């Protein structure tokens, strides 16, 4: 079934001033080749300041660049989610693995956001989980609740605990991981979040729950909120997630198997969430049952 298509928009920055449009599209958005971008241009899908572009234009800083992507058939995703807790301000659900939280990466309608808003149009997620990550996603249903939660989400006032199945048998029972996380080159999408000496400060606490035959099950508490933090941090101490197609034993992207951030195959579950209700101040403790595999 076709979705409704999507409009991607950007404002041309000063560093692109004077650059040829086709070169910019092919360089800045490498998911399509220059030939593929030229076809989109020829189809009338790309505009500059509302005027259909040919690709030969020299861009000017401040112009509005729009790609009107035609409707497409999305890949199938799980469509069921469990409501864990709800009141008039908040909604907490248990997201299944394989369902994107937000539109992107080829998904528009087959996302948790769209599925939830069909029943509760006012609900918007306070945070996101990766497509392959399962577990608790918290939605705000009022502006007041959203503002409070956004302000406190990456502070000690919100406790987030995950369960992760990792490669290798851990030598220690607990790890404090402070590997910086930043953007590094990726051969297929330009850049990706990974372990980086020049990245932003990050902190996770990983506790061993179970040692298996060549694997370790960790309970991980997040003390910061970087993209793909648990996948990167466990990999950086030599324990990448079992089946992770992107990160190797250093927390950097694999060289010989360049997976994408949204690719699945691993087990990571947002199991516990504790926070103060943004309106009433009461303590809320949420738990999402572990999926099969743990």
Q: State yes or no: pLDDT of 246 exceeds 70.
A: yes
Let me know if residue 76 belongs to a domain: no
Structural tokens at position 106: 């080829």
Q: What is the DSSP annotation of 168-215?
A: S--SSSEEEE---EEEEEETTTEEEEEE-TTSB---EEEEEEEE-SSE
Q: Are residues 65 and 162 in the same domain?
A: no
pLDDT in tens, 201-220: 999 999 999 999 999 999 99
Let me know if residue 285 belongs to a domain: no
**Could you count the other beta carbons within 10 Å of the beta carbon of residue 201?**
11
pLDDT of residue 62: 97
Which of the four pLDDT bands, split at 50, 70 and 90, describes residue 259? low
Let me know if residue 232 belongs to a domain: yes
Q: In this structure, what CATH number is given to the domain that contains residue 23?
A: 3.10.290.10
Q: State yes or no: pLDDT of 7 exceeds 70.
A: yes
Q: How far apart are CA 144 and CA 230, in angstroms?
A: 30
Let me know if residue 166 belongs to a domain: yes
| Domain count of the fold of the chain | 2
Let me know if residue 289 belongs to a domain: no
Let me know if residue 10 belongs to a domain: yes
Q: How far apart are CA 133 and CA 109, in angstroms?
A: 18
Let me know if residue 138 belongs to a domain: no
* Residue-range definition of the domain harbouring residue 23: 6-69
Q: Which residues, including other chains, have CB under 8 Å from residue 34's CB and lie 6 or more apart? A: 22, 23, 25, 26
pLDDT of residue 258: 60
Q: How far apart are CA 233 and CA 226, in angstroms?
A: 10
* Phi, psi of 6, deg, nearest 5: -155, 150
Let me know if residue 290 belongs to a domain: no
Q: In this structure, what CATH number is given to the domain that contains residue 175?
A: 3.30.2350.10
């Amino acid at each position: 079934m076709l979705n409704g298509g999507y409009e991607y928009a950007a404002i041309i920055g000063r560093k692109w001033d004077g650059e040829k449009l086709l070169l910019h599209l092919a360089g800045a958005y490498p998911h399509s080749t220059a030939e593929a971008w030229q076809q989109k241009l020829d189809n009338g899908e790309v505009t500059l300041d509302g005027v259909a572009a040919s690709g030969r234009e020299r861009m000017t800083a401040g112009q509005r660049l729009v790609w009107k992507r035609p409707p497409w058939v999305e890949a199938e995703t799980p469509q069921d989610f469990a409501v864990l807790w709800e009141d008039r301000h908040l909604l907490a659900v248990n997201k299944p693995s394989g369902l994107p939280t937000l539109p992107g990466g080829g998904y528009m309608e087959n996302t948790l956001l769209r599925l939830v808003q069909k029943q509760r149009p006012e609900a918007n997620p306070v945070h996101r989980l990766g497509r392959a990550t399962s577990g608790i996603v918290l939605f705000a249903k009022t502006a007041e609740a959203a503002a409070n939660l956004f302000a406190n989400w990456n502070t000690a006032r919100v406790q987030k605990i995950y369960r992760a199945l990792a490669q290798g048998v851990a030598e220690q029972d607990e790890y404090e991981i402070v590997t910086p996380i930043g953007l590094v080159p990726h051969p297929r999408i330009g850049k990706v979040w990974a372990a980086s000496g020049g990245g932003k400060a990050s902190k996770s606490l990983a506790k061993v729950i179970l040692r298996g035959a060549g694997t370790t099950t960790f309970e991980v508490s997040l003390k910061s909120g970087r993209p793909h933090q648990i996948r990167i941090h466990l990999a950086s101490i030599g324990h990448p997630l079992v089946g992770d197609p992107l990160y190797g034993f250093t927390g950097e992207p694999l060289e010989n198997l360049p997976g994408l951030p949204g690719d699945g195959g691993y087990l990571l579950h947002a199991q516990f969430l504790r926070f103060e209700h943004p309106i009433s101040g009461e303590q809320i403790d949420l738990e999402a049952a572990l999926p099969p595999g743990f």
